[in-house]
């Protein structure tokens, strides 16, 4: 009987995870052990003709059902899809406007509250904000900017209009994600990261360098930085070659496209 229960737990460990979670005995290694034991069920090795090497086929469909969906149910509950849909819909309720202005569209900047002249509101947010009663400036957008309504860093006070300020309490008071969801997520994500680090790392003894020629210790690589710090003079000073070659290096860098002030 015990062997049957153990086999069922290996196939669907969701019940065991939940029982351990309720008794505070669930740890990330429980998930890592599950990943190790189930990974081989979703990989098939096929031998290639006239070759000693094989090819791997990964069964994504069954892996999604046998691993990912189990994890989703553990974190989100049995009705995980409904939970994720509600979470997605709540995340789409932005507390900032972010409307991208078109060319010629009117913009409004409050002279009393904006942090700088680039902090502007679209027409819709301006009409619903307290800034309409302040000293403001109306301009015409050249296109490409966006409305800063809801961005607390753009305003000294009253950062949101009536529409977007009403969304903030709803997001803060959201009870979709509970403390239990947070704790379950922490355990699962820690296990996933540990599993990936241990199994995806490159072993130092897996290199095939010994099959090729020995490394030439006298071969070096020079990196030329194209930034606002390194100059042509620095390049010519550090380059261990003849003056003519140094000049050729500088000319080549300029041809590749550098700053007008000849920075590299």
| In the chain, beta strands by DSSP E | 43-47, 54-58, 106-110, 136-140
In sequence order, the β-bridge partners of residue 138 are 108
Contact partners, residue 6, CB within 8 Å, separation at least 6 = none
Its pTM stands at 0.47
Q: Where is pLDDT greater, at 221 or 57? A: 57
Alpha-carbon distance of 177 to 83, in angstroms, equals 9
Contact partners, residue 94, CB within 8 Å, separation at least 6 = 150, 164, 167
The mean of the pLDDT values for the chain is 78
Give the model's pLDDT for residue 165: 77
Give the model's pLDDT for residue 47: 73
**Number of neighbours of residue 35 by Cβ within 10 angstroms:** 16
Give the model's pLDDT for residue 233: 67
The owner of tokens 């709803």 is 170
Whether the per-residue pLDDT at 1 is higher than 70: the answer is no
Q: Where is pLDDT greater, at 155 or 228? A: 155
Q: pLDDT tens-digit profile of 83-132?
A: 888 777 665 556 788 889 999 999 999 999 999 988 999 999 999 999 99
């Amino acid at each position: 009987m015990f062997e049957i229960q153990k086999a069922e737990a290996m196939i669907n460990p969701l019940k065991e995870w939940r029982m351990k979670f309720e008794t505070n005995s669930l740890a990330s290694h429980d998930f890592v052990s599950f990943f190790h034991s189930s990974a081989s069920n979703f990989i098939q090795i096929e031998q290639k003709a006239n070759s000693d090497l094989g090819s791997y086929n990964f069964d994504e469909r069954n892996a999604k059902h046998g691993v990912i969906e189990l994890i989703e149910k553990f974190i989100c509950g049995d009705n995980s899809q409904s939970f994720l849909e509600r979470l997605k819909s709540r995340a789409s309720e932005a507390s900032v406007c972010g409307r991208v202005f078109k060319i010629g569209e009117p913009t409004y900047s409050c002279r009393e509250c904006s942090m700088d002249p680039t902090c502007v509101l679209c027409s819709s947010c301006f009409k619903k904000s307290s800034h309409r009663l302040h000293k403001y400036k109306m301009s015409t957008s050249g296109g490409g900017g966006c409305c800063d309504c809801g961005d607390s860093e753009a305003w000294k006070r009253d950062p949101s209009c009536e529409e977007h300020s009403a969304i903030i309490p709803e997001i803060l008071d959201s009870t979709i994600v509970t403390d239990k969801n947070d704790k379950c997520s922490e355990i699962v994500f820690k296990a996933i990261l540990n599993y990936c680090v241990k199994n995806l790392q490159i072993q130092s003894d897996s290199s095939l360098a010994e099959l090729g020629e020995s490394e030439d210790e006298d071969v070096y690589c020079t990196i030329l930085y194209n930034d606002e710090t390194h100059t042509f003079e620095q390049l010519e000073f550090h380059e261990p070659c003849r003056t003519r070659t140094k000049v050729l290096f500088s000319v080549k860098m300029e041809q590749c496209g550098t700053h007008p002030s000849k920075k590299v």
